[in-house]
């Protein structure tokens, strides 16, 4: 950590909630998505475990301890990128804290500039609290780092 800097640990901001028909805020004409709200403190191991019970997957990190916020705002590279794009491409909505302390939602209709800026640029002007992401991108929930050596198991 740099001198005179501030580090915020989001590890205790927890929660995973699945939605069968999620629509981003202020977007009544947006199509509904099979999605999940993932709190910033969740790591991919916990997300994959919860998703596997529902036979869902996410474009996510290959290590179980990789955190959500920095991974997604950094783009989110994954073994599934060639088929499904980056993790940042799957984001439907984010809840963030601005430098002013204001908590806002950002999606394709609400705070658009912030929404596009947060997906893949590692913003230091905001703090990610939660991300709503598409969970209907495929059915490979067992596609995890320790399973990559066993490609015969992948449908």
**What's the rounded Cα separation, in Å, for the pair 78 and 51?**
17
Residue 13 has pLDDT above 70, yes or no: yes
Q: CB under 8 Å to 31, separation ≥6 — which residues?
A: 23
Per the structure, the count of domains in the chain is: 1
Q: What pLDDT, on the 0 to 100 scale, is given for residue 61?
A: 82
| CA separation for the pair 40, 14 (Å, rounded) | 7
3-class SS of residue 105: strand
Residue 129 tokens, joined: 């609290």
**Inside any domain, residue 152:** no
Task: Output the pLDDT for position 33.
Answer: 86
Answer yes or no: is 144 within a domain.
no
Residue positions counted in the chain: 155
Q: Which two tokens stand for residue 108?
A: 């394709």
* Average pLDDT value for residue range 9-21: 88
CATH number of the domain at 39, please: 3.30.465.10
Domain extent for 123: 16-23+33-139
Residue 92 reports pLDDT greater than 50: yes
Cβ–Cβ < 8 Å for 10, 94: no
155 pLDDT higher than 60:
no
Give tens-digit pLDDT for 103-139.
Answer: 999 999 999 988 888 876 665 556 787 887 887 654 3
43 lies in a domain? yes
pLDDT tens for 48-72 read 889 888 888 778 888 888 888 778 8
Establish if 11 belongs to a structural domain. no
In a domain, 7, yes or no: no
**Does residue 28 lie within any of the structural domains?**
no
State yes or no: pLDDT of 143 exceeds 50.
Answer: no
| Residue 64 domain-assigned (yes or no) | yes
pTM over 0.75: yes
Let me know if residue 145 belongs to a domain: no
């Amino acid at each position: 950590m740099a001198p005179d800097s501030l580090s915020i640990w989001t590890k205790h901001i927890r929660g995973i909630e699945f939605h069968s028909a999620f629509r981003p805020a202020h977007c009544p004409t947006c199509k509904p998505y099979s999605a999940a709200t993932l709190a910033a403190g969740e790591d991919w191991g916990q997300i994959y475990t919860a998703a596997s019970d529902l036979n869902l997957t996410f474009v996510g990190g290959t290590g179980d301890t990789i955190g959500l916020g920095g991974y997604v705002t950094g783009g989110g590279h994954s073994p599934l990128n060639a088929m499904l794009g980056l993790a940042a491409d799957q984001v439907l909505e984010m809840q963030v804290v601005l430098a002013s302390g204001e908590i806002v939602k950002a999606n394709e209709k609400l705070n658009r500039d912030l929404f596009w800026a947060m997906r893949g640029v590692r913003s230091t002007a905001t703090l990610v609290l939660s991300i709503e992401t598409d969970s209907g991108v495929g059915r490979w929930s067992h596609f995890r780092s320790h399973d990559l050596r066993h490609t015969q198991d992948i449908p």
